[in-house]
Amino acid sequence: MSRLGISLPSPVQKLDPGWPGCESLQLWIKRDDLIHPVISGNKWRKLKYALLDGLCAQVGEIVSFGGGHSNHLHALGYCCWKLGIQLTALIRGDYRHQPTPMLQDLKAWGAQVRYLDKQHYRRRTEPDFLQQLQHVHPHALIIPEGGSQPQALPGVGELLNELEQDVTHILLPVGSGGTLAGLIRARCRAQLIGIAVLRGRGYLEQEVMDLVSDPGACDWQICHDFHFGGYAKAPAPLRDFCRHFSLQTGLPVEPVYSGKLFFALKSLCQSGFFPAGSKVLALHTGGLQGKRIGSE
Ligand SMILES: *Cc1c(COP(=O)(O)O)cnc(C)c1O
């Protein structure tokens, strides 16, 4: 694994944005975006044990799923290339004529890329579909979309052991719910506030509860006010915020995950959500290849 050049623990930095409403709060950022230049922060944490087990079992092939911009596939593609494992990437939609930068990277790293139409892609979690897939790739390890599977949770939980300061709240973006589930499973003592980056009220909560066996073990909630219309939707106010926030703080953000996270942090500070004296940690989950979406 040392071949990958992972840099942990990720640093925790103070954030002093001078926003109204945060005078009596302490704000911190955990920079999981700095874990690796290519392997996006939380994707590394989620993949770690799947890859370790795969290496131990001398798995020669991994099959996984994602959209044309998937951070999960990007991270996995790079890991597989470095570790000498064949990746087969099943992509939602057909990009044959217009491969995204992410897909170009995957191909450069030797991945097999296959395109599924929406009907087939929708079946990606169905047992008989997975059985067929396993039949076609008999020795492959199949990893679900986003890398979110029970095996992903311990790697995520490890980030809590890296914290040296006590915090009262942890804010993090929620896509498939695996990262939030990992923190719940690790019985995080801070209040967890997931910021949904897609429209998924009810659905996302269920995804999280399906992943953890003891969802009542800690105080968590998902806030649905900051998805800006859906996954990868980036209307002008969000893009303006990202630009301004990056200029002001020097922190790299993109509109798909971290932009929505920090926008939410600012709004929650402003609305008095956090009691005075709160110590709030925002988890920068990385994903900066998402910045390329706007520049295509
Ligand atoms: C995938 C991703 C998330 C979402 O994590 P989930 O575990 O799917 O909820 C958040 N941030 C970034 C940068 C991601 O790439």
The domain limits of the chain are 2-40+153-292, 42-147
In the three-class reduction of DSSP (H, G, I as helix; E, B as strand; rest coil), residue 171 is classed as: strand
pLDDT for 83 equals 96
Q: What is the mean pLDDT of residues 177-204?
A: 97
Query: How would you class 106 by CB atoms within 10 Å of its CB: exposed for 0-12, middle for 13-18, buried for 19 or more?
Result: buried
Confidence bin at 290 (pLDDT 50/70/90): low
Ligand 1 first shell, C-beta below 6 A: 40, 42-43, 71-72, 146, 148, 173-179, 257, 285-287
The pLDDT tens digits for 48-99 are 999 999 999 999 999 999 999 999 999 999 999 999 999 999 999 999 999 9
Helices 153-161 and 41-56, packing angle to 10 deg: 120
Question: Are the folds of 2-40+153-292 and 42-147 the same?
Answer: yes
- Ligand 1 centroid–CA 107 distance in Å is 22
Alpha carbon of 195 to ligand 1 centroid (Å):
11
- The domain 42-147 is placed in CATH, from the list 3.40.50.1100, 3.30.70.920, 3.40.50.880, 3.20.20.60, at 3.40.50.1100
Distances (CA, A) of 144 to 89, 178, 251, 265: 11, 11, 30, 30
DSSP 221: E
* pLDDT tens digits, 226-246: 999 999 999 999 999 999 999
Which residue among 46, 149, 170, 176 has the greatest number of ligand 1 atoms within 8 angstroms of its CB, and so is best to mutate? Answer: 176
Ligand 1: which residue has its CA nearest to atom 14? 287
Which CATH code for domain 2-40+153-292? 3.40.50.1100
* Confidence label for 2 from pLDDT (cuts 50, 70 and 90): confident
Of 10, 40, 64, 70, the active-site residue reads 70
- Average predicted confidence (pLDDT) for the chain: 95
Beta bridge partners of 279: 26
Q: Is 38 exposed, middle or buried (0-12, 13-18, 19+ CB in 10 A)?
A: buried
pLDDT at 294: 46
- 258 as an active site residue: the answer is no
Tell which wins on pLDDT, 147 or 1: 147
Mutation to probe ligand 1, out of 29, 65, 71, 156 (largest number of atoms < 8 A from CB): 71
